[in-house]
Amino acid sequence: MPTTIEDNTEPAIAPDAGPQDKQTAIVRRRWLLLATSLGFAVIQLDVSVVNVAIKPIGAALGGGVSGLQWVVNAYTVAFAALILTAGALGDRIGAKRVFIAGFALFTLASAACGLAPSLPVLIGSRAIQGVGAAILAPTSLTLLNHAFTEPGERTRAVGLWAAGASTALAGGPLIGGVLTSTLGWRAIFFINAPIGLIGILLTIRFASETSRAKDRGVDLPGQLMAIVALASLAGATIEGGRYGFTEAGVLAGYALAALAAAAFVFVEARRERPMLPLELFRSGAFSASSAVGLLVNVTFYGLIFVLSLFFQRGQHLSALQTGLAFAPSTVAVLVANLLAGRLDARYGPRRVIAAGALLMATGAAALIGASTHSPFTALVVQLVGLGFGIGLIVPAMTAAVLASVDRSRSGIASGTLNSARQSGSVIGVALFGALIADGGRLVSGLHVALAISVALAILVGALTIKVPKEPTS
């Protein structure tokens, strides 16, 4: 997350506090942990929960594959592009205020998604949801850092905060399938309303406001260039699948994305307080680990999108059956997440990421023979292997990023990694979705997406040469 982790707050429990005061402080922190965990979990849930509902959404609101891609990507574009600035805003005016505002915005946008009468309204509401998500992610961590000042307690709190989000992210397809099949696709958005209300009330009641960093500015030029670059790249790729990649408007979109990216680097290199300090990338370990994050998300979210359509349109499964089809892979991701820390401590991130990349490549390669007539039993082992490989990579990659920078820069480092990963999600859905934009290319497009995933997994393996070999803990 883009906030810097520093011990600049008052102790959560005063040294001379009595037993009753200490117990009260402990209870307050636990409720705050729940509030911030709800905030982080719900935004991760909405990254993946929509995928299994895309067919019912298309049937209800119209629009081809490109329109459905924007339902997914409008959220992740805003999330990826704004997260660094949102962290700076929380530092400047107070994380509690900004967190509550972000939760309120996210909740209202979720309700708007559930009530959307048309596809354009849904896409616009998803973009606003993404703005709320970008606010919630960094400020939730800042509030935790403010409340849990003792290093051991802070580590445990952050671990629980992250575990809840990982569970929500991995379980999104199954949760989406259950809600869509039982209550309809609009329920995947309405479910956020009670979560948001609980999170806001708990934050108001139990969170203390953080100190304001008046010198923490908002990098508006850099922010604008980041939005233009990412949105143009996604738009050009999505429309390329619809109209062809040599069409003038598509080429113009790619040109705009390239110019905006170049302008972003130019601006960031010359600002006194940039939203993304480019000197971080002088570290080979930081650069390689961030690239791994982007590539893994290209594969993971791109394949979830394509496989959701393959299961529903190609194999004619219901939303619930599609969610259940993803369940073995979901379990594999969670199990691998739990094992990754121990494996990292014993073997180091380089070996863990390399093993994950091998499993990822093998699983994707073994799925290339899938057809509309393939029984699920012929696909489940490959899906488990793919999920387990990705589940190993993410925690080890995160640990490698944080180990590559000074502790005082851990906030901006993790924020950069989060931005890279969300950017990868945008690219994956846009690119892999473009391969199946023509309904007749569903199976062949899936095969090409899997072949690309194999290549990306091999590249992830190659990047591990720059990742630390020794354990990070």
Query: Considering its fold, how many domains does the chain have in total?
Result: 3
Return the residue matching tokens 């696909």.
Answer: 379
Please indicate, yes or no, whether residues 120 and 229 belong to a single structural domain of this protein: no
Domain assignment of residue 239, yes or no: yes
Please indicate, yes or no, whether residues 139 and 225 belong to a single structural domain of this protein: no
Q: What percent of the chain has pLDDT over 90?
A: 40
Please indicate, yes or no, whether residues 292 and 386 belong to a single structural domain of this protein: yes
What confidence tens digit (pLDDT) does each residue in 361-402 have? 999 999 998 999 999 999 999 999 999 998 889 888 888 887
Instruction: Select from 89, 138, 1 the least CA-distant residue to 417.
Output: 1
Domain assignment of residue 90, yes or no: yes
Domain assignment of residue 445, yes or no: yes
Domain assignment of residue 287, yes or no: yes
227 vs 134: CA distance, rounded Å: 13
Two structure tokens written together for 67:
């329109």
Please indicate, yes or no, whether residues 473 and 326 belong to a single structural domain of this protein: yes
What confidence tens digit (pLDDT) does each residue in 173-201 have? 889 999 999 999 999 999 999 999 999 99
CATH for 420 = 1.20.1250.20
Please indicate, yes or no, whether residues 194 and 236 belong to a single structural domain of this protein: no
Q: What is the DSSP letter of 279?
A: G
pLDDT of residue 1: 37
Q: 416 lies in which domain range?
A: 279-473
What confidence tens digit (pLDDT) does each residue in 405-419 have? 776 666 677 778 888
Instruction: Select from 426, 425, 69 the least CA-distant residue to 241.
Output: 69
Return the residue matching tokens 């929380």.
Answer: 90
Please indicate, yes or no, whether residues 82 and 223 belong to a single structural domain of this protein: no
| Final residue before a domain boundary, out of 160, 185, 209 | 209
Please indicate, yes or no, whether residues 127 and 227 belong to a single structural domain of this protein: no
| Final residue before a domain boundary, out of 209, 233, 253 | 209
What confidence tens digit (pLDDT) does each residue in 13-51 have? 445 555 666 777 788 888 998 999 999 899 988 988 898
Domain assignment of residue 153, yes or no: yes
Please indicate, yes or no, whether residues 433 and 303 belong to a single structural domain of this protein: yes
Please indicate, yes or no, whether residues 379 and 419 belong to a single structural domain of this protein: yes
10 vs 150: CA distance, rounded Å: 11
Ordered alpha helix ranges (H), 348-468: 349-367, 380-403, 410-435, 442-463
Domain assignment of residue 214, yes or no: no
Residues 6+ away with beta carbon under 8 Å from 224 = none
Please indicate, yes or no, whether residues 378 and 434 belong to a single structural domain of this protein: yes
- Identify the residue with better confidence: 317 or 274: 317
Asked whether the beta carbons of 138 and 87 are under 8 A apart, the reply is yes
pLDDT at position 224 over 70: yes
What confidence tens digit (pLDDT) does each residue in 131-179 have? 999 999 888 877 887 787 776 677 677 767 877 877 787 788 889 999 9
| Final residue before a domain boundary, out of 274, 298, 319 | 274
Range with lowest mean pLDDT among 88-92, 205-209, 245-249, 300-304: 88-92
Domain assignment of residue 298, yes or no: yes
Please indicate, yes or no, whether residues 65 and 92 belong to a single structural domain of this protein: yes
Domain assignment of residue 200, yes or no: yes
Please indicate, yes or no, whether residues 291 and 432 belong to a single structural domain of this protein: yes
215 vs 28: CA distance, rounded Å: 30
